[in-house]
Structure 1
Amino acid sequence: MRLLFAAAALVLAASPLHAEDSAMRASANEVRAHVEFLADDLLEGRGNGQRGYDVAALYTASHFRSLGLEPAGDNGSWFQDITFRRASLSGQQVRHGGREVKGVRLLPSVLEERVELTAPLVFVGYGLEAGPFGHDAYAGVDVRGKIVVAFNEQPDLPKGTNSDISAHLGSSRVESAARHGAVGLIVIGSDRYVRFHSRREVTGWVDAKGRSNDLPGDLKARMVATDDAARNLFAGSGQDFAQLRAAAKSGKRLPSFALAGTMSVQGSSTWEEFTAANVVARLPGTDPALAHEHVVMSGHLDHLGIDESRGGDNIFNGALDNASGIATMLEAARLFAQKPEDARRSVLFIALAAEELGLQGASYYVANPTVPLDSIAAVVNLDMPVPLYDFNDVVAFGAAHNSVAETVAAAGAEIGISVSKDPMPEQAIFTRSDHYRFAQAGIPSILLFTGYGSGGEEQWSAFFKERYHRAGDDLTQPINWTALARYAELNYRIARRLARETHRPYWYEGNFFGDLFDPKGTRRTVKP
Structure 2
Amino acid sequence: MFRFSNILTLGAGLAFCAPAGFVRAQAPVAREVANAQAQISAVAFKSHVQYLADDRLQGRQAGTPGYQLAVDYVSGQLRKLGVQPAGDRGRFTQHVRLRRAFTEPGATLSGAGGSFTTGQDVVFYPNPDQPQVSVTAPLVFAGFGISAPELGYDDYAGLDARGKMVVVTRADPRFLAGSEKLYATDLLTILQAAAQHGAVGVLLAAPKPAAQLPNLSKGLVSVLGPDGRVAVSRSYVAGSVQVVGSVSAETLQRLFAGAALDTTRTLAALRRGQPASQPLTGQVTATLRSRYQDVDSYNVVGKIPGSDARLREEYVVHSAHLDHIGITAPVQGDSINNGAHDNATGVASVLEIAKAYASLKQKPKRSVLLVFMTGEELGLLGSAYFARFPPVPRAAIVADINTDMPTIIAPLLSVVPLGAENSSLETVVASAASSLGLTVEADPEPAQHRFIRSDQYSFVTQGVPAVHVKYGNRTPDGKNNLSEQVQQWRATYYHKPQDDINGTFDFAAGRKYAQLNFLIGYQVAQDPARPTWKPGNFFGRRFGGGQ
TM-score by length of 2: 0.87
Q: Write out per-residue CA displacement over residues 6-33 of structure 1, whole angstroms, 9 at most, x where no aligned residue.
A: xxxxxxx967544645665111122111
Q: Does 1:27 align with 2:27?
A: no
3-state SS, counterpart of residue 489 of structure 2: helix
Q: CA 1:112/1:169 → structure 2, altered by over 3 Å: closer, same or farther?
A: same
In structure 1, C-alpha distance between the alignment counterparts of 2:272 and 2:388, rounded to whole Å: 34
Q: Does 1:208 align with 2:226?
A: yes
The CA deviation at 1:193 is 4.2
Note if contact 2:428-2:523 (Cα within 8 Å) is conserved in structure 1.
yes
Note if contact 2:154-2:275 (Cα within 8 Å) is conserved in structure 1.
no
Q: Does 1:234 align with 2:256?
A: yes
In structure 1, C-alpha distance between the alignment counterparts of 2:470 and 2:439, rounded to whole Å: 12
One-letter code of the match for 2:394?
A: L
3-state SS, counterpart of residue 508 of structure 1: coil
In structure 2, C-alpha distance between the alignment counterparts of 1:309 and 1:272, rounded to whole Å: 24
The CA deviation at 1:87 is 2.1
In structure 2, C-alpha distance between the alignment counterparts of 1:211 and 1:415, rounded to whole Å: 44
In structure 1, C-alpha distance between the alignment counterparts of 2:165 and 2:22, rounded to whole Å: 53
3-state SS, counterpart of residue 267 of structure 1: strand
In structure 2, C-alpha distance between the alignment counterparts of 1:367 and 1:375, rounded to whole Å: 12
The farther-off stretch of 112-121 and 186-195 is 186-195
Q: CA 1:293/1:104 → structure 2, altered by over 3 Å: closer, same or farther?
A: same
In structure 2, C-alpha distance between the alignment counterparts of 1:51 and 1:445, rounded to whole Å: 31
In structure 2, C-alpha distance between the alignment counterparts of 1:310 and 1:114, rounded to whole Å: 38
The CA deviation at 1:251 is 5.3
Q: Does 1:152 align with 2:170?
A: yes
3-state SS, counterpart of residue 323 of structure 2: coil
Q: CA 1:227/1:296 → structure 2, altered by over 3 Å: closer, same or farther?
A: same
Q: Does 1:509 align with 2:535?
A: yes
Q: Write out per-residue CA displacement over residues 182-229 of structure 1, whole angstroms, 9 at most, x where no aligned residue.
A: 331111114554533465522222223312413113121111112332
Match of 1:75 among 85, 89, 96: 89
In structure 1, C-alpha distance between the alignment counterparts of 2:471 and 2:413, rounded to whole Å: 8
Q: Does 1:95 align with 2:110?
A: yes
The CA deviation at 1:117 is 2.1
Q: Write out per-residue CA displacement over residues 139-177 of structure 1, whole angstroms, 9 at most, x where no aligned residue.
A: 34443443321100121226xx43x43333331322332
Map of 2:132 onto structure 1: 114
Q: CA 1:499/1:459 → structure 2, altered by over 3 Å: closer, same or farther?
A: same
Map of 1:187 onto structure 2: 204
Number of corresponding residues:
505
In structure 1, C-alpha distance between the alignment counterparts of 2:465 and 2:523, rounded to whole Å: 15
Note if contact 2:21-2:523 (Cα within 8 Å) is conserved in structure 1.
no
The CA deviation at 1:427 is 0.9
Q: CA 1:236/1:192 → structure 2, altered by over 3 Å: closer, same or farther?
A: closer
Alignment of 1:436-451 (within 5 A): 436-451=457-472
Note if contact 2:123-2:214 (Cα within 8 Å) is conserved in structure 1.
no
3-state SS, counterpart of residue 398 of structure 2: strand
The farther-off stretch of 134-143 and 274-283 is 134-143
Map of 2:515 onto structure 1: 489
RMSD: 2.3
Map of 2:14 onto structure 1: none
In structure 1, C-alpha distance between the alignment counterparts of 2:199 and 2:391, rounded to whole Å: 30
Note if contact 1:135-1:155 (Cα within 8 Å) is conserved in structure 2.
no
Note if contact 2:59-2:336 (Cα within 8 Å) is conserved in structure 1.
yes
Match of 1:298 among 319, 333, 343: 319
Alignment of 1:316-331 (within 5 A): 316-331=337-352
Q: CA 1:480/1:97 → structure 2, altered by over 3 Å: closer, same or farther?
A: closer
The CA deviation at 1:500 is 0.7
Q: CA 1:492/1:121 → structure 2, altered by over 3 Å: closer, same or farther?
A: same
TM-score by length of 1: 0.89
The CA deviation at 1:378 is 0.6
Note if contact 1:186-1:223 (Cα within 8 Å) is conserved in structure 2.
yes
3-state SS, counterpart of residue 334 of structure 2: coil
Alignment of 1:127-526 (within 5 A): 127-157=145-175, 161-162=177-178, 164-171=179-186, 172-189=189-206, 190=208, 193=211, 195-197=213-215, 199=217, 201-209=219-227, 210-212=229-231, 213=233, 214-218=235-239, 219-248=241-270, 250=271, 252-308=273-329, 312-339=333-360, 341-454=362-475, 456-518=482-544, 520-521=545-546
In structure 1, C-alpha distance between the alignment counterparts of 2:21 and 2:384, rounded to whole Å: 34
The CA deviation at 1:340 is 5.8
Note if contact 1:235-1:260 (Cα within 8 Å) is conserved in structure 2.
yes
The farther-off stretch of 444-453 and 124-133 is 124-133
Q: Write out per-residue CA displacement over residues 470-509 of structure 1, whole angstroms, 9 at most, x where no aligned residue.
A: 1221111231211111111110010000101111111111
